[in-house]
Structure 1
Amino acid sequence: MSESTTSVELSSGTPQQKPATIYDVAQAAGVSHQTVSRFLKGFEGIRPETREKVERALGELDYRPNLTARSLKSGRSHRIGALTHDLSQVGPSRVAEGASAAAREAGYVLDFISLDVRNPRAIEESVEMLTQHDLAGVLALSNTDEMTRAFETTEFRVPAFIHTEADDAITGHPTDLNGVGIPALIDHLVGLGHRTLLHIAGPRNWSASRNRILAYEAGIEAAGVASAGILAGDWSARSGYEAVRSRADLDATAILAANDQMALGAMLALKERGLRVPDDVSVVGIDDIPEAAYYDPPLTTVRIDFDSRGRQTLLTLLAQIEGTDVRPIDVPPPELVVRRSSGPVPT
């Protein structure tokens, strides 16, 4: 993520000149301003010929970074603005808590601004509000494709870092949850004799949801078992409940929900259909929220260390602010937690 923006320079005896903006650079290079923004923020995937055009335009227009951003290394500001849009979900809220704790430990204060995703100017307005204050940097916590694109094309005037889950279909390298956690859940169910599984997925505009679908599909293929399909959810318990209610015939002996809340809703729907968990249908989730151990029955799930992920995100931004190398921390891998919601396949 680039730390640069434009600034106004003064020359003795000459009028104040407005510096080049990314829109000026884009026009000179014959590309979109989004492409220039991505170039400045270090994103990969820009074609070499396009990169060359942008570099030439930057030089010709004397595009300069904001010197204010560089001065932040002096430590005058210890406030970081955090942009987010969905702290109602367990994962995002716990990532934010981890980032906030790491900020306090490093001597910084993390100020959260929750964005109204229904407002197309939400990010612009929030950034304008943030930059009215003396900030050391901006942490942009994104979960959806729309918000990630919006953050990527926003001109921050201070060091900024976008946190979002990488899309496994693009990177080709599964995240630890999808490479370790979900296969462990599937292996657990297969070990109990289950041969037909059903998945309740999160919203498709979340990379986390798409990644879990990919991991589910790869896992059942590797295990040589069948899928009874993928039902749509939105992370809420209500959506898990409605997904199971909408299915006339489950055709599965086990349900793998993309998070614990949807698993909770699924268990209630199964109970209302006269099915017992796990005697008739096993149910497993992901995240290991604090309440998972107190579901009826207690939920088998995968524990994710969101706190460490949030801390690592904040440390990555601090490295930009302070001009140092990123200090890696040990992020525990996902851990299978077996409880009473999963059992042997019914005979």
Structure 2
Amino acid sequence: MSDEAPARAANIFDVARLAGVSHQTVSRVINDLPNVRPATRARVEHAIAQLRYSPSPAARALVTRRTRTIGLVTPGVSDFGPTATAMHFTVAARGARYTVDSVSLLDEDPAVGVRSAVEGLLRQRVDAIALVVVDLAALETVRTLDLSIPVVATAASPRRHVRLVSIDQYRGARQAVRHLAELGHPRILHLAGPSQATDAVERVRGWRDELAERRLEIVDPATGDWSAASGYRLGMNLDVGPGTAVFAANDQMSIGLLSALRERGLRVPEDVSVVGYDDAPEAAYLYPPLTTVRQDFAALGQLMMQKLLLAVEEPDAVTEDTPIPTQLIVRQSTLAPAGRRG
């Protein structure tokens, strides 16, 4: 009897390595999708033949379904981040020749809303479901879903999960605070987003950890609702003094904050430095132009679609959830405190 272990069947990653392409490109070739160069297609087909690779029957059955429709569940908000993510996901899905059937969550209970939306999409026989998640209760519901079709969600969370893709909110917040600390600000306040918002929770965690590591004062964050109005309201009562800087949880709250500080006779950045989050289109045109943390929503939407396609093609494949990094965009709303200039 031979002691040799049976040869492992080749998978999509083996084909990608041999052909020198990404697994997404292999998937496009297998499913006869457009936008693959003839030379690349030939290289992938040669690797498939060489490895005798064959997708599982279950995967092929999913791929060749006639609906070619993906259900997309979005939050019932018009905030920049979720809206941009959903738009880029839809563009990526159409590029892969899938139709997107979108459902917005309007139920006051996010967990109930997610279950209801998913049940409705299953009745329409969608091939897979994508969710843009902004609420902790909705995230926990997604973690417990047990469906016969692939499910992928965008959500910020310190707990990795095979179903999640995300932007690194935690490290993005630390980038913002590190910038202010390195300018010399001894006191860095935070205007946080809603306490049940996944992104807000991760940004508070990053802000707090960066301050703690630098042994700087930690004052409880003031909580808003992502809107410019809440940033204005909090800004009118914010305890700011010499050397103070403010990290706002998104650019909209920063807009309200800038207005409140101006109304109080405080100059930005001469008296108070301000950093936002998102790099919304208007951030560069505020007065002063806003230093902010840029998120790549196009990459997030595309990554969600890629992960769904892989789940359809290779149901047993396990991919690592590596959050998409953020980028600090430094503009004129931040400056070293008066005593640290020059």
Give the drift of 1:157: 5.2
Partner of 1:277: 268
Distance 1:151 1:262, change over 3 A: same
Instruction: After superposition, give the CA deviation of every residue in 1:80-123 in whole Å (9 maximum; x if it has no partner).
Output: 01112144122211221221122112111222110112267544
- Residue of 237, 240, 246 corresponding to 1:246: 237
Answer yes or no: is the 8 Å Cα contact 2:300–2:324 preserved in 1.
no
- Residue of 281, 284, 290 corresponding to 1:293: 284
Distance 1:307 1:343, change over 3 A: same
Answer yes or no: is the 8 Å Cα contact 2:75–2:105 preserved in 1.
yes
Distance 1:321 1:212, change over 3 A: same
- Residue of 329, 334, 341 corresponding to 1:337: 329
What code does the residue aligned with 2:237 have? Answer: S
What code does the residue aligned with 2:240 have? Answer: L
How far, CA to CA, are the matches of 2:320 and 2:145 in structure 1? 27
Instruction: After superposition, give the CA deviation of every residue in 1:143-186 in whole Å (9 maximum; x if it has no partner).
Output: 1012223344556453322332113699xxx973423x333322
Determine what percentage of the aligned residue pairs are the same residue: 35
Distance 1:155 1:243, change over 3 A: same
Partner of 1:94: 84
How far, CA to CA, are the matches of 1:316 and 1:220 in structure 2? 35
1:185 equivalent in alignment to 2:176: yes
CA RMSD in angstroms, aligned pairs only: 3.0
**Pairs within 5 Å for 1:84-163:** 84-118=74-108, 122-154=113-145, 156=147, 158-163=149-154
Answer yes or no: is the 8 Å Cα contact 1:309–1:331 preserved in 2.
no
Greater mean deviation of Cα atoms: 67-76 or 123-132: 67-76
What code does the residue aligned with 2:335 have? Answer: G
Partner of 2:302: 311
Give the drift of 1:327: 8.3
Instruction: After superposition, give the CA deviation of every residue in 1:274-325 in whole Å (9 maximum; x if it has no partner).
Output: 1111111111111111110011110001111121112111211222223365
How far, CA to CA, are the matches of 2:104 and 2:160 in structure 1? 29
Answer yes or no: is the 8 Å Cα contact 1:316–1:326 preserved in 2.
no
TM-score by length of 1: 0.71
Q: Describe the SS at the equivalent of 2:103.
A: strand
What code does the residue aligned with 1:176 have? Answer: D
What code does the residue aligned with 2:127 have? Answer: A
Partner of 1:34: none
Give the drift of 1:192: 2.2
Distance 1:203 1:330, change over 3 A: closer
Q: Describe the SS at the equivalent of 2:302.
A: helix
Distance 1:198 1:330, change over 3 A: closer
Q: Describe the SS at the equivalent of 1:316.
A: helix
Partner of 2:3: none
- Residue of 186, 189, 195 corresponding to 2:186: 195
Give the drift of 1:221: 2.1
How far, CA to CA, are the matches of 2:121 and 2:218 in structure 1? 48
Instruction: After superposition, give the CA deviation of every residue in 1:251-277 in whole Å (9 maximum; x if it has no partner).
Output: 461100111111111111111111111
Answer yes or no: is the 8 Å Cα contact 1:197–1:256 preserved in 2.
yes
How far, CA to CA, are the matches of 1:157 and 1:89 in structure 2? 31
How far, CA to CA, are the matches of 1:113 and 1:161 in structure 2? 15
Distance 1:227 1:104, change over 3 A: same
TM-score by length of 2: 0.72
Q: Describe the SS at the equivalent of 1:255.
A: strand
Number of residues of Structure 1 aligned to a counterpart in Structure 2: 276
How far, CA to CA, are the matches of 2:321 and 2:140 in structure 1? 28
How far, CA to CA, are the matches of 2:178 and 2:131 in structure 1? 36
Partner of 2:51: none
Answer yes or no: is the 8 Å Cα contact 2:168–2:324 preserved in 1.
no
Distance 1:331 1:212, change over 3 A: closer
How far, CA to CA, are the matches of 2:122 and 2:322 in structure 1? 33
How far, CA to CA, are the matches of 2:319 and 2:299 in structure 1? 13
Unpaired segments of 5 or more residues in structure 1?
A: 1-66
Q: Describe the SS at the equivalent of 1:241.
A: helix
Partner of 1:78: 68
1:211 equivalent in alignment to 2:230: no
Give the drift of 1:194: 1.1
Answer yes or no: is the 8 Å Cα contact 2:76–2:104 preserved in 1.
yes
Give the drift of 1:190: 2.2
What code does the residue aligned with 2:326 have? Answer: P
Answer yes or no: is the 8 Å Cα contact 2:190–2:248 preserved in 1.
yes
